[in-house]
Amino acid sequence: MSEFLFESIQDGFPEQLTQKHILWIWNADKIPPHIGISSGKDYFSLTYRKSEHLQVLSMVKRARRSNIPLVLVEFSASLTGEELAEVFSRYERAVDGVTCLRPIREVLNADVNQLADLLIFLKTEQLIVGVSGLNLPEGYAGIADYSMEDILNRIRFLNGK
């Protein structure tokens, strides 16, 4: 179990979003949140339904229309959409212990088990460039403390098991 508090969160989307590497934290105020990753114009996410490869601009539209609390963590890395596509193509969907974090930690070569661990890794490696947010509740400061069992229970629930 671990949590992560952000030092500061800018309101809105980062400028030149489609030219950056971004970790997308959907339902950032929930346990557990969902994560996706983008490089340039390409967005990737592993959900309980499927592995997604979408356009960043379509995710921007979804974020604006849905009012879902969203945190965008810009990070520096030598990473391409092609590399992300290759890694995400290995996964059909989040099920049986495979979470939305699995392909992201693989592509970032980060030995972590939860989102907070990934954020700690990015911070320790001094890879976080900036943090932005949308639709966040007043007083939101970071990722709440939750367990791996919370994640697996949510995936089982979403899969109807």
Name, in order, each residue with C-beta under 8 angstroms of 139's C-beta and a sequence gap of 6 or more. none
Q: Where are the beta strands (DSSP E) in the chain?
A: 2-5, 10-11, 21-26, 34-39, 42-46, 51-55, 70-75, 128-134, 142-146
pLDDT reading at 121 higher than 80: yes
Average pLDDT over residues 47-62: 90
**Model confidence over 37-53: pLDDT tens digits?**
999 999 999 988 888 89
What is the pLDDT at residue 110?
93
Average pLDDT over residues 92-112: 89
The tokens of 79 are what? Answer: 């990473």
**Model confidence over 123-142: pLDDT tens digits?**
999 999 999 999 999 999 99
pLDDT band at 152; cut points 50, 70, 90: confident
Q: Could you give the CA distance from residue 112 to residue 39 in angstroms, rounded to a whole number?
A: 20
The tokens of 100 are what? Answer: 């939305």
Q: Could you give the CA distance from residue 111 to residue 142 in angstroms, rounded to a whole number?
A: 21
Task: For the chain, give every domain's residue range.
Answer: 2-158
With a pLDDT cut of 70, the percent of the chain lying above it is: 98
Nearest CA-CA partner of 98 in 148, 146, 53, 59? 148
What is the pLDDT at residue 24?
97
The tokens of 13 are what? Answer: 């989307």
